[in-house]
Each structure stands twice: as C-alpha cells, then as structure tokens.
Amino acid sequence: MDEQRYTDSDIEVRAVYRPEDLVGFDPARRLGEPGEYPFTRGVHPTMYRGRLWTMRQYAGFGTAEATNERFKFLLGAGQTGLSCAFDLPTQMGYDADHPRAEGEVGKVGVAISSIDDMRLLLRDLPLDQVTTSMTINATASTLLLLYQLVAEEQGVRGDQLRGTIQNDILKEYIARGTYIYPPRPSMRLIVDTFAYCAAEMPQWNTISISGYHIREAGSTAVQEVAFTLANGVAYVEAALAAGLDLAEFAPRLSFFFNAHNNLFEEVAKFRAARRLWASIMRDRFGATDPRAQTLRFHTQTGGSTLTAQQPENNVVRVTIQALAAVLGGTQSLHTNGFDEALGLPTEHAARLALRTQQIVGYESGVTDSVDPLAGSYLVESLTDEIERRAREYLSRIDDLGGAVAAIEARYPQEEIESAAYDFARRVERGERVVVGVNRFTEVAAAPTEVFPVDAAQQDAQVERVRALKRDRDNDAVRHALDDLERAARGTSNVLYPMKTALARRATLGEVADVLRGVVGVYEPH
C-alpha cells in the first residue's frame, strides 16, 4: 500500500498530479507574466537571462581586519556582493570592553564598536561598486551610519551607496532574541531609518524583512511566509502612521527567506510569497507602482539543516537548497559552508559554497528559462495551498491586532515552538529521515577542519576600544550624545544626531546606552 507523503508544512503530496487538480486555476490571473502583477513568475521580465542573482557570501569573524581579508578573498573568488555578520555584543549594543561582551567578542561575527573599526572593516573596498548587506537589527541604524561615514571619507556619497540592512526587529522577538528595546520604541527607530534613507541614501534597502530566522527557529514553510509578511504589514503601517510616502519607502523594502531541503515546497513558497505580498500591497495599501508591489528577496540556505555528523553531506543539502532558491526566483543568495554545524566556515568551505552557486548559475541550465517550473501541476498546487494557509495565519494575526500585538500575546512564538517540537519528534521516531543522523550513520567519522577562534584577537579589540575612549575629545562626544538623548525624548529623527555622535567617535555601546536610558529594555514575559 502506497503510504501518504507530506511536505514540511504537512501539505499532502499526491502520487500523481493531473490537470483536474487545478480546477478553477486561471493562469492569466494566478500567474501573469514575469515582471508583472502578481509577480508569481518573478520580479523581472527576463530574470536570470538578463543577469544572474547576486552571489553574496556571508562573512564576519574576529576583528575588522580579519573580516576585511575574507571580503577581499571572496571578491577575488568571484563574489558580487558583500554580506557581513556581526558578533553578539555588536548586535546587542555593547562595546567589546563591556563586561557582558566578555568571551563573545568576534565569535559569531565581526566586532564593530566604533568608526575606527568600520574603517578597518571597509579598507580598500570599492563601496561605490559593490552592494553590501549587513545582518544587524537592534543596532542597525548605528551600523548603517558608520558605513555611510566611512564611505563619505572615501569620497562616496550617500546617494551612491547600495546595499541592505536587515533592520527587522519584530522577528527578533519571535525567533532570534537579539533585541534591546521594547517593540514599540524599536518600531520608531525603524521608521526613522526609512525616513533618513529616503532623504540621504535613496538606493539603500532600508529593511530586509526576515523569514530566515523564523524558519531556523523551527517554523514550517507556511509559517515562514505568513509571519514574515505579517511583520512586513506592520512596518508598512508604522511608516504610514508616521506620515511617510508609500511610493517612496515601499520600493526599498526587501525580504530574506530560508531555503530548506523539500525542493518543490520551497520553490512554491517563494512563488506564493511573491504573489501574496503583491496582493497585500495593492489591495490593502493601494499601491499602484509595480515597484511597491514587488517582493524582492535574498535567500540563505538552511543553517539548521546542516549536520555535524558526516559534514560533507551538507554540500549536497546546500546544492538542493540553492537550486530551490534559484528556481524560486531569488534576487541574491548565500550558500552555507558544509562545516558550519561545527564552527565558522573555513576558506575551503566558503570557496566551495560560492562555487556551488556558480555551477548552478553557469552549468545547470536552470537559468535559461524565466520560470522553468511554471505550469507544473505539483508546483502550482503547492503554491496555491501555501498561499491559502498563509492567508489564514494573516487573518488570525489581524484579529489579534496586528503583528506587534500578536508578538506581545506570544501567538507566533507558540506556533513556531509547536512546529519545531513536532518536527523533532518525527526525527526521533524516524518518520523524517536525516541522513547520517537517524539513518545511514557511521560509528566514527574523519575529523573536519574547524575555523580557529583567536583569543588574542579578542583582547586586541578590547584594548582598541579602551584606547579610543582615552584619545578622543570626550567633551564633544558627551555633547553629541546629549543631543541624541533630546531627540529620542522628542519626536525628531534620531539618526541625524546619532550620526554626529558617531562621527565624533562615540561608540556603538554609548549610543545604545542613551536609547536604553530613554526607552528601557525589553523583558520577555
């Protein structure tokens, strides 16, 4: 007897799909043409026939100097965009010399405490030519301003800079935990960043609304789409409430999704998300400009799918996930190193991950057609079902008062926790096969090279921060931080006095401390 099969979102997959499985399916309405509403088939008319996606490998570790060397290595290997990871103290608003930073400096990303660090991070990089993505949220505005200040020192104007800050604080409360301030004051920071970039950095993507970490926390593909777009709705509503022009800020919104192993569900997920967002922007917010209806997204392959057991198997997993992202129409892509379940990727693993993208792009043939899986009965059925289930979640979140209220009520958190528990139980029972973990295991495996963490680098970073605080004009810093505090207590845009303070060598931690003093810190219930 043929057993029933299900996707990761518990959508039943039938053995055979036929035209009658798409009864009522209207290709003109549901698919449209590539580059046109509802964008199911892609955001550009020619997609990769015109230009491949941006190959953007994530990097960041230890000191700014070490990460700068990795950036240059990746650019030399053919990478077309930079993507920077920051260590936990930087993400949480602490300088490297803060007691809470001890033991964490440079461990899961690069330590950036001041403009001096940002200068070292960006030394000799062509900031007027590359696009840069920074995975940073609670302190996103600070890192963005440091980037702009260093670019200006290099003679690159703000209106020439292209890139993305993640700046998606809502998913931190849902799934990741690197928040500082309560949700509502954090939303003000995000809206101030939207307004600042509209005036000063018009080519910059002001937010990357992230489903990646929602999926890493254990959500299903459907939940990843639903909770990510619900957060997107909240950001749009907050910006409109602050008086910003939809036509100005909406085209600069971008998204960030995960890619897991179920190839066809992942492809359908990306197509459904595009179609759903287009309809939200048009029908809910009245956006008429196609650029404001378009869901542009970066994809990273699934870190949580990587195994420490038989790590070479991860090369295959990453390849399948990269293929799903490309078939789903991603605008940029990061492929994980096969060794990332053990530590930071070595140069060997990072190069192989980049070569994986290049082989998919140049050798596989999947880029020759704009939407090669369109019309597949299976893919169209999955796309419709993911959209339908995601709409149900969005309706529930609206009933709760929107994403912020739903987060405060712990609705998405509990849904994700339930899905993660269910998946873990299935793996334990052997209902979900993970090769090398619960089937096809080995008693012993050959050792894998692990990226070394240099304690001396951490000590050097701490000393650099202490030296900066000794050598700068501390009176000028204090005055600038006082101006920032006044702006935070009032209604003016805080990024302008924040930029002045950072230019005078105020540190990231000092800026965060000012804001902590005004709005407090978030304490989860």
pLDDT tens-digit profile, the chain (525 residues): 568 999 999 999 999 998 888 877 777 677 889 999 999 999 999 999 999 999 987 777 778 998 999 899 888 988 878 889 999 999 999 999 999 999 999 988 999 999 999 999 999 999 999 999 999 999 999 999 999 999 999 999 999 999 999 999 999 999 999 999 999 999 999 999 999 999 999 999 999 999 999 999 999 999 999 999 999 999 999 999 999 999 999 999 999 999 999 999 999 999 999 999 999 999 999 999 999 999 999 999 999 999 999 999 999 999 999 999 999 999 999 999 999 999 878 889 999 999 999 999 999 999 999 999 999 999 999 999 999 999 999 999 999 999 999 999 999 999 999 999 999 999 999 999 999 999 999 876 666 666 666 778 888 999 999 999 999 999 999 999 999 999 999 999 999 999 999 999 999 999 999 999 999 999 887
Alpha helices in 201-220 (DSSP H): 212-216
Task: Check residue 358 and give left, alpha or beta (phi > 0: left; psi -120 to 50: alpha).
Answer: alpha
Instruction: Tell me what pLDDT residue 447 has.
Output: 66
Instruction: Tell me what pLDDT residue 446 has.
Output: 62
Closest C-alpha to 354, from 301, 305, 297, 298: 301
Any domain includes 445: no
Do 187 and 318 share a domain, yes or no?
yes
Amino acid at 294: T
Any domain includes 250: yes
Residues comprising the chain, all counted: 525
Rounded CA separation 31/288 (Å): 18
Rounded CA separation 255/43 (Å): 13
Q: Name the β-bridge partners of 59.
A: 84
Instruction: Tell me what pLDDT residue 525 has.
Output: 72
- Domain span holding position 132: 5-413
Amino acid at 500: T
Q: What is the pTM of this model?
A: 0.92
Number of compact structural domains in the chain? 2
Domain end: 413, 435, 452, which one?
A: 413
Any domain includes 525: no
Any domain includes 35: yes
Any domain includes 429: no
Do 363 and 485 share a domain, yes or no?
no
Q: Cβ distance 196 to 154 under 8 Å?
A: no
**Residue whose entry in the numeric block shows the structure tokens 């096809």:** 440
Do 332 and 210 share a domain, yes or no?
yes
Q: Cβ distance 298 to 133 under 8 Å?
A: yes
Dihedral of the CA atoms 117, 121, 126, 128 (nearest 10)?
-50
3-state secondary structure of 477: helix
Instruction: Tell me what pLDDT residue 397 has.
Output: 98
**Other CB atoms within 10 Å distance of the CB of residue 125:** 18
Rounded CA separation 273/352 (Å): 30
Distance of CA 238 to the CA centre of its chain: 20
Any domain includes 127: yes
Instruction: Tell me what pLDDT residue 125 has.
Output: 94
Strands 253-259 and 207-210 come out as parallel
Do 87 and 214 share a domain, yes or no?
yes
Do 402 and 492 share a domain, yes or no?
no
Rounded CA separation 369/327 (Å): 10
Q: Cβ distance 113 to 506 under 8 Å?
A: no
Do 384 and 492 share a domain, yes or no?
no
**In this structure, what token pair is assigned to residue 302?**
């699934």
